[in-house]
């Protein structure tokens, strides 16, 4: 009975060349994984849905360290190099790769781009105790929260909310 000696390795790709690397690796018969998510973006006033990498510039590749030619893979168009820790190639546990695959496959929502609201834009709160209240977008706090300016009792106050709790005023 032969034991599967393949492992998942992490590749660092040249900027914006992940898809090219994926195509070239697939053409070489290398199992590769490039996790992406769908994101709604606003560019020049138009909304569009784009595929965005979960890990920009990185690809997962499944290789057998005893038989696969690492030099050929490293020389693939679009690939910069293997991720290493000292002299050792970085490996990723198979369970983690499967978990990422399941998570990506299970996500059906489209993530709304954080850049839709710009400082100074008028927004409306969608839920919670402030539902229906108009506010002014001040700035983002991390990836999931924002600070809004609201007018209460003739004074401006700041309110930190989740990005899903408000929308641009139409």
Domain ranges of the chain: 7-112, 122-168
Highest mean pLDDT among 13-17, 109-113, 148-152: 13-17
Binned at pLDDT 50, 70 and 90, residue 109 comes out as: low
In this prediction, residue 27 carries a pLDDT of 95
Provide the H-helix boundaries in 28-166: 70-74, 94-106
Topology (CATH level 3) of domain 122-168:
SH3 type barrels. (2.30.30)
Q: How far apart are CA 3 and CA 140, in angstroms?
A: 50
Binned at pLDDT 50, 70 and 90, residue 1 comes out as: very low
- pTM (2 d.p.): 0.61
Query: Is 159 a residue whose pLDDT tops 50?
Result: yes
What's the mean pLDDT in 121-148? 84
Residue with tokens 């038989």: 67
pLDDT in tens, 16-70: 999 999 999 999 999 999 998 887 776 666 777 888 888 899 999 999 999 999 9
Sequence-separated (6 or more) residues with CB below 8 Å from residue 103: none
Tally of CA atoms within 13 A in the half-sphere of 62 that contains its CB = 15
- Give yes or no for a contact between 163 and 146, defined as CB atoms under 8 angstroms apart: yes
Residue with tokens 């927004």: 123
Tally of CA atoms within 13 A in the half-sphere of 96 that contains its CB = 9
- How many other CB atoms are found less than 10 A from the CB of residue 120? 9
Sequence-separated (6 or more) residues with CB below 8 Å from residue 145: 160, 161, 162, 163
- Give yes or no for a contact between 18 and 32, defined as CB atoms under 8 angstroms apart: no
> DSSP readout, 90-104?
PEE-HHHHHHHHHHH
Going by CATH, does the domain composed of 7-112 fall within 3.30.70.940? Answer: yes
pLDDT in tens, 127-140: 777 788 889 999 88
């Amino acid at each position: 009975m032969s034991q599967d000696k393949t492992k998942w390795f992490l590749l660092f790709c040249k900027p914006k060349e992940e898809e090219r690397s994926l195509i070239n690796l697939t053409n070489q018969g290398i199992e590769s994984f490039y996790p992406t998510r769908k994101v709604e973006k606003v560019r020049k006033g138009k909304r569009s849905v784009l595929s965005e990498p979960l890990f920009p510039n990185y690809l997962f590749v499944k290789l057998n360290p005893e038989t696969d030619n690492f030099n050929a893979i490293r020389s693939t168009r679009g690939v910069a190099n293997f991720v290493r820790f000292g002299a050792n190639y970085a490996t990723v546990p198979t369970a983690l790769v499967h978990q990422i695959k399941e998570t990506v496959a299970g996500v059906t929502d489209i993530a709304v781009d954080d850049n839709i609201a710009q400082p100074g834009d008028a927004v409306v709160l969608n839920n919670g105790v402030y539902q229906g209240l108009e506010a002014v977008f001040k700035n983002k706090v991390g990836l999931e929260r924002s600070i809004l300016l609201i007018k209460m009792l003739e004074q401006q106050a700041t309110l930190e909310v989740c990005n899903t709790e408000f929308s641009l005023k139409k």
